[in-house]
Structure formats: structure tokens, C-alpha cells
Structure 1
């Protein structure tokens, strides 16, 4: 039998009358009392835990009463007298169903990890709200101005305002699309419509569209006679756009975009983006593709690279981050030539 003193969570055991007969080291530290001070006390006195309204956990949960079929108390939040929050759960040991509780095993764990998760979720909500509010403010401001002062503006001024509204609406649409795609990747429901695609030609068309919208002009270097690969054109456009924009935003600009035969694989095509930045430290390269990961203060939701990896994985490909041969960083993706099993 495992020694309860080795467990990271606090454990308090009480007999059929509620008298404490065993306390592990973690529980002793949490309750700031030596085990010998707790042993012999009633469980309600050994664990003086209340909710925010001052209600005792023992009186509320009634572990020795209530339904005679209960064998477990679900985890819930309770506070010590000095305000420390713990997550408490318990096992009700019975000799048989509907028999009295023979032994009560109470487990306590710190709520710090949950608080960190809650803060992370709050930060996420704040980030997404900020990203949504920024273009929405522009849309609302220009439409309200046009509605209230239409005749005071020239056609050129109205055209400029409407173009700005259209651009902000595109930003909103893209953010919502990214959030939906992230949810689909999480749930394994990312849909693909692959077809044979010339990645070099597709990359040039995508970057021409990027240049038309942002003015960013990037030349594509491509090897000759590359095979076509089975790729969803729309998803590939997401990969190209996100990698190029990431290099432009965080890598001090795009140095090269290369489409070539892969060096690590015997088939397929590799797409690589090189930047002018200082490079990416090896210790953060794996974290770059986690959801909502961001670096620096250049904004963004932290979804772009997560979606890139999700799309590449769904195609049976691979993604790699390395140092560029001319300095900076290189982010490369590889798509297999034949239709991978995940797409059949």
C-alpha cells in the first residue's frame, strides 16, 4: 500500500464516527497543524473549511448522512479561516451499497493551478475582445460619421471611408475564422478538400493577393519541375499567409520565400519562409505552435501558427523551425506528394 505521506495532495482519514485517525504530511502543511494535533479531532474540527458565505463544508456536504448510495463527494472550492482556497473532494467507504460510511477519505489540493488557468482564460478573453474591438471601433466610427454627415463629404472622402470599413470588416472576418478553425483543430473536425496543386504557382497567386491588400511584395523562388501535391487550396493559402505575415511582423520582414524539393523526405514539396530577424531561440521553437502563444508586444491572438500546424498535420505533413542560411529564422512546411491516409 502506498505511503500517503508521499502524495502531493493533502489526505485526512476519519473513521465511522468522524474521528480523524490519519493525516499525511501535505495536509499537515496545508492546515498549519502537526498531525498529532489533528488526530483524535472530529473531521469538522480538523478541517474548519467554509465557503465565501461562511457555510461549513461538513454541514453543507454531510458526508455521513445524505444519500446512502453516495461513494464520492465531487471536488469543490472551500476556504480556510485565513482565506486560503483549497479544492476538496472525498471518498465515502462503505462495506456495501446503502450501508453506513465506515471510513471517510478527504483529499485537499491547492487552487493555485486553477487560478492560473482562470487568469489565462481571462487574458485570452481580454486579448480576443481587444482584437475584435479595434476593427469594430473603426467600422462603427466611419459608418456613424457617414450616416450623420453624408453630404459634407466628397465622393473621394466617402470612398476612402468605405474602403477603411471594408478593410476592418475583413479583419473581423479573419479573426472569427481563426477562432473557429482553432476550435475545429481542437476537436479534430478540421475539414479538408484536397486536390492536386502546384505549390509554386499557388504561392505566387496567394502572395499577389497579399500584395494587393497590404502592399507587401514578396518574390518566390521555386525549383523547376516540382511535382503536384494533394493539398486543400484554401488551407494552403492560410499557411502561406500566416507564415509570411508572421515573418513580416515578428521577423523584421520577409527575406525569401522558397518552394523546392525537400531534403529530409523522398517525395513531396517544401515551402519555406526566411526572415531578417535575429532568429528564434531553440527553447521556444516547440512552443511557437501552441494555441494562443505570443511573443513580444506586436499584438495578435496567437492563433496563426497554431492553425498552420493544425493544417499541416491534417495533410500528413511536417513543420520545422531552423536558422536561415543567411541569418534570421526559417519556418518550413512539407507536404507529401501522395494523398496521405488521413485524407482518404
Structure 2
């Protein structure tokens, strides 16, 4: 094995600027990957790169990088001649992702890393990642939808807060104590609504970036369920509307009590607001098939309302999905799913026995060994 080939294999263990280990398979990557060795010849060209560029990997291997991947910038200039990875400044480490074009081909998002043995040493390989621009467009559309939703949801409570506070400041002595109290209670409720929306946005950011932190400790899901039912009753719901069933033999459960509280609060609120009739909450021991039958706890929240149309069940946990146009951000169930999955669990929705919606989440026992 000559030195160039050996170094190329070393280069091929780097993806996105960080080592990934020597036994990984580039065909399993979600992005296109093209790797050139120290001589500029292509030594890796995975299937995603072939799909994005329309090129045959067999023909690309062994070709100079600029011929196997003849990229151009929006002005039609040859990209590899402009950046000159092998002959440019010795301190460069690559270039960030940007839109580039293939001659008579699609637009792609391209990022490159130049691999050197030391900071100013010669380039011993170039690692190129490719992504479809459609992925970024979807992300941009999602961000635009999020901004529009947040702006819409903030407008109403902030207008109320501003209106009532301005009225009280300018005409305080014209109102009696009962009127003042009503206005201040409305301001307080709208401030809570804004606080909740901000908390949802922070949760979404943490879920999307994999930074949702869980504070693990022993939890009693049956107690959490009963606490959330009492919260609904304290908020004005009839106690007779709720039925709680807890089976014997629940395992010792570990998890984040605050986050699991959030899951139950959201599911109960949905059942009360959008469902009808009796809301039944069942807590039972279970085995999770997606975790090789590991023991866990299952919680099912069902109602007797109209349920969810079968064609919508696949979208229930997506951002901005609303089963009822009467309100809500459409973010709650997305966050619920993220929290359950962060616990190593799974959540599903089905039709309840009495016709409504039945949300069921299962979480593994989550012992300390699982979390570490």
C-alpha cells in the first residue's frame, strides 16, 4: 500500500471536521460525501452524493476532484479553481456551507474541510459534504412558520396587556376595586400565556438541537397523573369527568418529574379542550418492544370526543398541527413527543374504545445505568 492511498484512508475517517472512527460506513451517512486524497483524486463517493449529483460513483473514483465534482458558483466561475484547496493559503481549513451549482445540474449545498497533519502543513485530503437545497428550504419554511405563529400568538395577549395597563394608568380613579381587579387578573392571565409560549419555544430549540436536559430521579407516574387531574378540577372542571385507573405492579420508575408533569398536563388539557365526555387515564406496567422488551410504564389518556381522523394521525406530533382551529400554537404535542423520546420512550395516538382520541406513551424504567 503506497503512502497516498494509506493517507487517503486516514482522511476518509473524517466527516464534517471531526473523526468518526475507522469502522464507519459512508453509505450510512444522511449527506453526500466526497473524499479526495493528497493528490486530489477522489477516493470516496457515496450513494447520496451520486443521487444529488447524478454521477456514477464508479466513474468518479480516481478522477481529480474538480472533474468528478465540477462545481460552479452562481456567477459561473469554477469553484475549485477559485478556492484552490491544495495550493492556497496554508492556514485555511476549508470553507463553510454555501450554494453551488453543477453544470446543467441541480443546486447543492456544499461544505469542505481541508485535512492537514499540522496547522500549516500541506493538505493531505479534502472532505466534501453535499446536501440538497430542499432540506434548507424546508428548514427555512419551518422557521418562517414558527416566526409567524409566535407573532400571531403574542399579538393578542400583548395587546391586552398594553390596553389594560394604559387604561389603568390614565384612568385609575374612574374604576372601582372590582373593575381594577378584573383588569389586573386579565393582565396576569395574558402574561402567563406569553410566559408559556416562551417556554414552549425554548423547549423546541432544545429538542431540535438535542440539548433537552432531563433531571433524573425516582418518579411516581400515578401521583403525577392524580396531581394533574386535581389541577384540572381546580381550574373549574367537574371532578366526575375524570377516571383514573392504576394497575398493580408498576416498576420503580426514573425520569424527570417536571418534564413528565408537562407531558401529562398537555395531554389532559388536550382531552378536556378538544375531547368530550369522560377523560380516562390509565397507568400500567408494560414492556417496550422498541427497547428489546425492557420494562417500563405506560400511560393512556383517552376521551369520548370526535377523535382524530385517520388521515391526520401521522401528523399529530408535527409542528403546528391543530386538530381544532379554535386556538393553540400547534406546538404542544411536538414538545410532548420530544420529551417522551428523550426519556427513551415512544408515544402513539389511536382511536379510543368509546370513539375519542387515545394518546398512549410508554417510557422505560430509566434506571441510572440507562442515563449514564
TM norm. shorter chain > 0.5: yes
Q: How many residues align?
A: 316
Q: Retained in 1: the 8 A contact 2:113–2:128? A: yes
Q: Retained in 2: the 8 A contact 1:257–1:271? A: no
Calculate the aligned-residue CA RMSD, in Å.
5.2
1:276 maps to which residue? 305
1:289 maps to which residue? 317
SS of the residue corresponding to residue 329 of structure 2 reads coil
Q: Give the alignment of 1:69-80 within 5 angstroms.
A: 72-78=94-100
Q: Retained in 1: the 8 A contact 2:286–2:297? A: no
2:336 maps to which residue? 308
Give the gaps of 5 or more residues in structure 1.
1-7, 18-23, 31-41
TM-score calculated relative to the size of structure 1 = 0.66
Among 246, 262, 267, which residue is 1:243 paired with? Answer: 267
Inter-CA distance 172–322: structure 2 relative to 1 (3 Å threshold): same
2:347 maps to which residue? 319
Among 156, 160, 171, which residue is 2:193 paired with? Answer: 171
Distance 2:259 2:113 in 1: 49
Does 1:191 find its partner at 2:193?
no
TM-score calculated relative to the size of structure 2 = 0.62
1:152 maps to which residue? 174
Inter-CA distance 193–148: structure 2 relative to 1 (3 Å threshold): farther
Inter-CA distance 317–306: structure 2 relative to 1 (3 Å threshold): same
| Per-residue Cα deviation, 1:193-219 (whole angstroms, up to 9, x for no partner) | 5444535642431222332xxx67662
| Bigger Cα Rg | 1
SS of the residue corresponding to residue 187 of structure 1 reads coil
Deviation at 1:143, TM superposition (A): 0.6
Give the gaps of 5 or more residues in structure 2.
1-30, 41-48, 56-65, 288-294
Does 1:204 find its partner at 2:229?
yes
Q: Retained in 1: the 8 A contact 2:110–2:131? A: yes
Q: Give the alignment of 1:47-196 within 5 angstroms.
A: 49-50=73-74, 57=79, 61-63=83-85, 65-68=87-90, 72-78=94-100, 86-89=108-111, 110-185=132-207, 186-196=210-220
Deviation at 1:246, TM superposition (A): 2.0
Inter-CA distance 77–218: structure 2 relative to 1 (3 Å threshold): farther
| Per-residue Cα deviation, 1:199-256 (whole angstroms, up to 9, x for no partner) | 5642431222332xxx67662213478677757654444233211222344x4x3332
Distance 1:67 1:198 in 2: 64
Inter-CA distance 226–294: structure 2 relative to 1 (3 Å threshold): same
| Per-residue Cα deviation, 1:15-71 (whole angstroms, up to 9, x for no partner) | x99xxxxxx9989889xxxxxxxxxxx98xx765346xx988567534464224768
